[in-house]
Structure 1
């Protein structure tokens, strides 16, 4: 398809939505317009059926961060990055979804380029599109669709906001009523800053802003022209869209949905099991709390919902130490063995960075569970030394020393 439908969503359902159909072959605008709110997105459904659809979202809802994370493993770096950003983000990291861009390390030594957006915001954008039956595989912060300036910043006005591209992985979408304050601060911080504007910008009251007027552009056209230069996509991981379904397949899915619903009604007779599951959950939560207190005996009060972020924070602290990357890499190799031998549970875990060795004190149902755990570790190409075992009531206690 040579034509692409570009849609720029708002932060809230009542915000205006801008759209444009762009022909890459002819390099021209086919059609463009504006919708009053997300409730009118269905007006674009037919236009999206025969075209690729790319969605822009406001840069004010996406935090673009670049940082230096120790280690060479991409997986370990991405595991640690969110918790290194906790002090720089307004929301708790557990409330944010993080998407990553594969950019080369820059001159500042930064090797991790991440975009953080609230889960509920990303889910809301996808819900609007789904309700309008618009299939979108690519979602991009509007600031990253702006061209990068050789010098200074590039800016253009769109509706009640100004979109500014400040660098390769830096930009802001600013409300018009806040533009004067932010632009004046830029001017104070950078004496020689020039803003290349592709449209008239709101006036700056406190200070003179150095503007370098460019040939006027329709905002959505400027974003459409340069969107193809950006390989980044917010829709990663759990939000990644696989493929669109044909109308025939959608019909069959609808029929299948009815069948699943009927099956669910039959399963509903087992609702009494929910009560048992709730009791089991309470018991598991209590076990989690007791295990946490054993690992961190100085803790006086703890809640289940705070354990996860605390443990992740401690993991982030480990990642910033010299042996952090080795620890996480080794831990990732050990974890599958616990999954395959669930009757054996760790009681304590220590990491010796000098020996690159994890020491585990575990509790199992019988001696055979220790043997099976050792076999799984050896199958994972790990060097395993098994310590002594002893009975503790109806359980067996033992230890392992594990090297990569």
Structure 2
């Protein structure tokens, strides 16, 4: 089961670069279904790690929430759709909205809306400190860092506000988040209540979240927020700390925050592949494998060329000895020569009737479907050393197969006087010693 640990530092905040041990955290642990399994307030990192260890939890996804004023909300109007071009154009699209050198700012890209791409901008050095603060915890791995206010549930067409002691968290329906001192809420409320001159006056829905104790403690601020008539304020009482509201909204996709862990601060590229330490060795092995394949292909081509040259030389020698033989080629020359040697060895320079008949009968017996070939008459001329057979077969292919078999034995075999009939083919097979 996958667990998520939401961690939010408790103010006043120490410098994460100077004294990370001085931080204490509010935290809540969710299971895969979004149910709260454990929570804590004002605990140190060590105490949270001990709680996870006691419950035998490991590889928990850590989601760090930083103060909303640490990151700035921007909109980027970029016509490109491919991710590579969007990343290239992003600094130029938001440069005028940021009051510091764009080279020292880390930009995180959010979802695309009708107004453009939502962007979170944070000082690069501060982002490095926050990543260091939430990294290397036992039993967890960093999954995301969000501005806390950006996780508030969105109120359609208006604003969501959460009272959290001296701080008020706010987010608009277009995703813009703010963090400010609660005492300034009245001024902010009057700003919302003043409509633009070119628009028709309409109510602005505002959802106000706080615990019952918080509502009682800040009645004056709440009443100032309700005073302007254009704001339609709806109160939502929290039973637990605001962090649980943020975690609930994130799990159920009631908000659209921007994960700051992108680009150079992305933690997914480091954990995605267990083979990262082996990449240099894999690269060397790949190069070696490529060289080996190229060498094998080269050697194969070399040997193939040499074999072709030897075949050509062998056939040239054979043609010199048997200039009239046009059926023998490099593929069967060895078998033809062996047959000729067998014939020469068994019959001597002159072949008699018995020898020629033996080879003819042997090839006849080896024909597939030999019963379809019949001998009508057999004649032998001693003076010419020729065996003449009148033969009939169901097709000329059978006659040709018989002739080729005799030729492969080193004999001179020819078919003449071929007549094709409805019942097959007949011809005269002449066999001699070659």
- TM normalised by structure 1 equals 0.52
Given the alignment of the two structures, is residue 226 of structure 1 paired with residue 226 of structure 2, yes or no? no
User: CA, structure 1 residues 231+65, in 2 after alignment: closer, same or farther (shift >3 Å)?
Assistant: closer
CA distance in 2, matches of 1:126, 1:93: 20
Partner of 1:193: 204
Show CA shifts across 1:131-177 (max 9, x none): 65553121122223211112421111234311112024212122224
Counterpart pick for 1:117 among 114, 122, 135: 122
User: CA, structure 1 residues 81+104, in 2 after alignment: closer, same or farther (shift >3 Å)?
Assistant: closer
Partner of 1:216: 238
Given the alignment of the two structures, is residue 25 of structure 1 paired with residue 33 of structure 2, yes or no? yes
Alignment coverage as a number of residue pairs = 239
CA distance in 2, matches of 1:154, 1:99: 23
Unaligned segments of structure 2, at least 5 residues: 16-22, 278-434
Counterpart pick for 1:236 among 243, 258, 262: 262
Partner of 1:41: 45
CA distance in 2, matches of 1:166, 1:100: 18
CA distance in 2, matches of 1:159, 1:22: 24
CA distance in 2, matches of 1:30, 1:195: 31
CA distance in 1, matches of 2:179, 2:37: 24
Q: CA deviation at 1:55?
A: 1.3
Counterpart pick for 1:93 among 102, 107, 111: 102
Counterpart pick for 2:72 among 63, 70, 90: 63
8 Å CA contact 1:69, 1:80 repeated in 2: yes
8 Å CA contact 2:119, 2:258 repeated in 1: no
8 Å CA contact 1:21, 1:32 repeated in 2: no
Partner of 1:318: none
Q: CA deviation at 1:7?
A: 0.4
The 5-angstrom pairing of residues 179-190 of structure 1 reads: 179-189=185-195
Q: CA deviation at 1:20?
A: 1.6
Partner of 2:155: 149
CA distance in 1, matches of 2:257, 2:67: 18
Partner of 1:9: 9
8 Å CA contact 1:56, 1:142 repeated in 2: yes
CA distance in 2, matches of 1:177, 1:16: 25
SS of the residue corresponding to residue 144 of structure 1 reads helix
Partner of 1:161: 167
Partner of 1:355: none
Given the alignment of the two structures, is residue 174 of structure 1 paired with residue 180 of structure 2, yes or no? yes
User: CA, structure 1 residues 215+65, in 2 after alignment: closer, same or farther (shift >3 Å)?
Assistant: same
Q: Which has the larger radius of gyration?
A: 2
CA distance in 1, matches of 2:24, 2:190: 27
Partner of 1:381: none
- TM normalised by structure 2 equals 0.48
CA distance in 1, matches of 2:157, 2:133: 38
The 5-angstrom pairing of residues 73-88 of structure 1 reads: 73-88=82-97
Q: CA deviation at 1:196?
A: 0.7
8 Å CA contact 2:28, 2:36 repeated in 1: no
CA distance in 2, matches of 1:29, 1:195: 31
User: CA, structure 1 residues 207+100, in 2 after alignment: closer, same or farther (shift >3 Å)?
Assistant: same
Unaligned segments of structure 1, at least 5 residues: 254-404
Show CA shifts across 1:72-112 (max 9, x none): 443223222222322221222111101112x2442x4x2x2
8 Å CA contact 1:5, 1:47 repeated in 2: no
CA distance in 1, matches of 2:52, 2:147: 20
SS of the residue corresponding to residue 142 of structure 2 reads coil
Show CA shifts across 1:16-59 (max 9, x none): 63212234537345222124xxxx33322234562332111222
8 Å CA contact 1:146, 1:222 repeated in 2: yes
8 Å CA contact 2:158, 2:172 repeated in 1: yes
Q: Please, what is the CA RMSD of the aligned residues? A: 3.2
User: CA, structure 1 residues 71+127, in 2 after alignment: closer, same or farther (shift >3 Å)?
Assistant: closer
